[in-house]
Amino acid sequence: MSQQGVLAALATGEFISIGARMMEIAAEKPDAPAVTANDVTLSWKELHERTNRMARGMLAKGVKFGDFVTIALPNGSGFIEACYACWKIGATPQPVSSKLPAGELAAIVELANSPIVVGNPGLTSPRPLVTAEELVAASADDSDLPDTIAPSYKAPTSGGSTGRPKLIVSGSRGVTVKGGVEGSFWRYDGNSTVLMPGPLYHNGPFGCVFGALNAGAYVVVMPKFDAEATLRDIEKYKADWVYFVPTMMSRIWRLPNREDFDVSSLKTLWHLAAPCPPHLKEAYIHWLGGDVIMELYAGTEAQCVTVITGTEWLLHRGSVGRVMGGGEMAAFDAEGNKLPTGETGEIYMKRDPSLPPSYRYIGAEARTLPGGWESLGDIGYFDHDGYLYLADRRTDMILVGGANIYPAEIEAALDEHPLVASSAVIGLPHDELGNQVHAIIQPRAGLDLEDLKRHLAERLVLYKQPRSFEMVAENVRDDAGKVRRTALRDARIKKA
């Protein structure tokens, strides 16, 4: 089924709850493998029964219909089980990194008002911390629960230009298209073996894994990405579907023993989350085939998406594809005027008004123009065939290995240090990550760089911590307190 078909099905009510879909699959193939993680495999029957017990465990811990449940677990079956347990009682999974510093986690949990945080021992949590196994052990009853549909399918987080997190609450309820046919958009089905090396708390891996499971596919989850281990797992499990971001693609391509692994089982490779360098994309197309390589551009907000195959890309080099339905996109200038074909501007999206909203924010407001247009902050243009080409991000955002990083959040952490007089954070080009976080600091007397790094490690998740530091004598902000990040970045690139 196409994306338009899925949207139509959801709009006309041709769906069942996610919990009912799992029960349906477990009845059809109870002993077939559902999930493998850390070399442990759960059958569909085991997954269904364990999540029934876990759902009752959540109820016993005070989770109610409509609640957000913050899930701070690393990649593994526990993460997947916790999400299903939420859906089975009408709650909404609210995934976050298992490595978040206490302050960042507390801010997110405050927004979500989660009654519990599902995480591993040792996590500093502002609400009662419960492990996945504790939830399973809280109930011995693995029978089916009353059919329930969560008001929202998911509520992932994102940073903001203010440095404060926000929740992006899905406009879709906790449902799936009957029979799991939504998987056909992603090119997997009940006979597929899906390999996921990406972090499940990120929106792309989250949506792809649960879409695959709803389709009845077998999902293999890697604990974390490792280039050689990924190729080994493709060969071991004969995976026919895999998710990458360009950083993963780059590290795999640079392996000296890449050709030693049999990856002939692959039928589909999706890459998302960040622009892919043209030379790397072309290399993968020639390696695996143009019909294998698929690219999608969209935000977590999912107003609408573009898609392009590798074969198409060779004819439209550098494009991220054409809009696939559910809405429209256009480039606008700084005054809010729609630009003609070929002119570069900020990309705005407008969802089809006949469809329900695709999301809502908690903790932020959308960047909008009159007429229902919304921007995610990307800059680009469209060609005469309707293909979108992305040029850059808005100047304040840094894209690192597929993750959106806002300088204001890092600058706020830097400026908390008593010996930092002023700071600015910019992105500098990096071969693998796309950009690296670079901190420009005006120090006070006695500032020690190692002490500053420890200070940041207590406040920022690892991928947000600067990879390079530069000390300057002058104030990095102007008299109005503003940072001219584009000028700072351009000056350093010019010197490189």
User: What are the pLDDT digits (tens) for 96-148?
Assistant: 999 888 888 999 999 999 999 999 999 999 999 999 999 999 999 999 999 99
User: What are the pLDDT digits (tens) for 215-246?
Assistant: 999 999 999 999 999 999 999 999 999 999 88
Cα distance between residue 493 and residue 476, in whole Å? 17
Which one-letter DSSP state was computed for residue 121? T
Tell me what pLDDT residue 133 has.
Answer: 96
User: What are the pLDDT digits (tens) for 192-214?
Assistant: 999 999 999 999 999 999 999 99
Res 395 pLDDT > 70: no
Using DSSP bridges, classify how beta strands 33-37 and 40-43 pair: parallel, antiparallel or unpaired. Answer: antiparallel
User: What are the pLDDT digits (tens) for 321-340?
Assistant: 999 877 899 999 989 999 99
Using DSSP bridges, classify how beta strands 293-297 and 306-309 pair: parallel, antiparallel or unpaired. Answer: antiparallel
Using DSSP bridges, classify how beta strands 388-393 and 345-351 pair: parallel, antiparallel or unpaired. Answer: unpaired
Correct CATH for 398-495 of 3.30.70.1060, 3.30.300.30, 3.40.50.300, 3.30.365.10: 3.30.300.30
Q: Going edge to edge, which strands form the sheet with 420-430?
A: 420-430, 434-443, 468-471
Radius of gyration over alpha carbons of the chain, in Å?
23
Query: Is the pTM above the cut of 0.85?
Result: no
Tell me what pLDDT residue 396 has.
Answer: 66
- Region 46-59: what's the mean pLDDT? 98
User: What are the pLDDT digits (tens) for 356-371?
Assistant: 888 899 988 888 999 9
Domain boundaries, the chain: 3-274, 398-495
Q: Which of 47-61, 79-93, 253-267, 410-424 has the lowest mean pLDDT?
A: 410-424
Are the CB atoms for 288 and 265 separated by under 8 Å? no
Helices 203-214 and 18-28 sit at what angle, rounded to 10 degrees?
A: 50
277 class by beta-carbon count within 10 Å (0-12 exposed, 13-18 middle, 19+ buried): middle
Confidence of residue 3 (pLDDT cuts 50, 70, 90): very low
Res 426 pLDDT > 70: yes
Tell me what pLDDT residue 476 has.
Answer: 87
Res 436 pLDDT > 70: yes
Which one-letter DSSP state was computed for residue 434? E
First vs last C-alpha separation in the chain: 49
CATH of domain 3-274: 3.40.50.12780
Q: Do the domains spanning 3-274 and 398-495 agree at the CATH topology level? A: no
Tell me what pLDDT residue 487 has.
Answer: 83
Confidence of residue 400 (pLDDT cuts 50, 70, 90): confident
Confidence of residue 393 (pLDDT cuts 50, 70, 90): low
Res 93 pLDDT > 70: yes
Tokens (6 digits) for 406? 């806002």
Res 62 pLDDT > 80: yes
Tell me what pLDDT residue 182 has.
Answer: 59
Chain-wide mean pLDDT for the chain? 90
Annotate 450-462 with b (16+ C-beta within 10 A) or e (fewer).
eebeebbeebbbe
Tokens (6 digits) for 11? 């709009």
